[in-house]
Amino acid sequence: MTDSSVLDLAPVVPVVVVEDVADAVPLARALVAGGLRAIEVTLRTPAALDAIRAVADEVPDAVVGAGTVISPQNVADSVAAGARFLVSPGWTDTLLDAMKKSGVPFLPGVSTTSEVVALLERGVSEMKFFPAEAAGGVPYLKSLAGPLPQARFCPTGGVSLSSAPSYLALKNVGCVGGSWMLPADAVAAKDWARIETLAREAAGLR
């Protein structure tokens, strides 16, 4: 990755759940064509690691990462598959150590002020805010900016096309994560053109 910060690659990072590895490459190509280069493939399905490997091998313009990383084994497997960044829903010291040693950028998940302070104490200033809407949304992040201006976030969880601009307007938000540009019916129908259109709309938010 030419940029060491995941937060600066695009205003929106698509959060992708791949059920069929055959969908991974055309889906990634549609997202990239729409202007969304950073793609988070979640480790929620048996196809996830093969999907990361396929995108890394066949879609050179994509910056593919792994999401739902919750163990050192997840870290090792994801990097071996070609993931260029890592995202976790939360963090522990063990997981954080593994992500730091991975050699790729990472966004550990936080939902409380204490977790943010603990990460800053460990030299980490870029993090995922999850689950964003349930954990307090825009007002919560706005409140953190005063006492903790050095922390920057990628809010994910319940973020939509309509709410994304409010998050992106905050000075401590680098990007948002979401899946609204990947409606299940479009993926099922392999309607990559529709996904490209929705991705372009999302990429234009900033």
Q: Is 100 exposed, middle or buried (0-12, 13-18, 19+ CB in 10 A)?
A: middle
The catalytic residue among 19, 40, 100, 121 is 40
Spatial CB neighbours of 88, under 8 Å, sequence gap ≥ 6: 67, 68, 69, 70, 95, 99, 106, 107, 108, 109, 128
R_g (Cα) of the chain, nearest Å: 16
Question: Which of the four pLDDT bands, split at 50, 70 and 90, describes residue 87?
Answer: very high
Question: Which of the four pLDDT bands, split at 50, 70 and 90, describes residue 10?
Answer: confident
The catalytic residue among 19, 58, 101, 128 is 128
Quickly count: other Cβ atoms within 10 Å of residue 128's Cβ: 28
pLDDT single digits (tens) 192-203: 999 999 999 999
- The pLDDT, as a whole number, for residue 9 is 84
Query: Does residue 85 surpass a pLDDT of 60?
Result: yes
Alpha carbon of residue 115 to chain centroid: 19
pLDDT single digits (tens) 11-63: 999 999 999 999 999 999 999 999 999 999 999 999 999 999 999 999 999 99
- The pLDDT, as a whole number, for residue 1 is 45
Annotated catalytic residue 196 = no
Mean pLDDT of 175-186: 97
- The pLDDT, as a whole number, for residue 100 is 97
Question: Which of the four pLDDT bands, split at 50, 70 and 90, describes residue 206?
Answer: confident
pLDDT single digits (tens) 98-157: 999 999 999 999 999 999 999 999 999 999 999 999 999 999 999 999 999 999 999 999
Annotated catalytic residue 40 = yes
Tell me how far apart the alpha carbons of residues 173 and 53 are, in angstroms, rounded to a whole number: 29
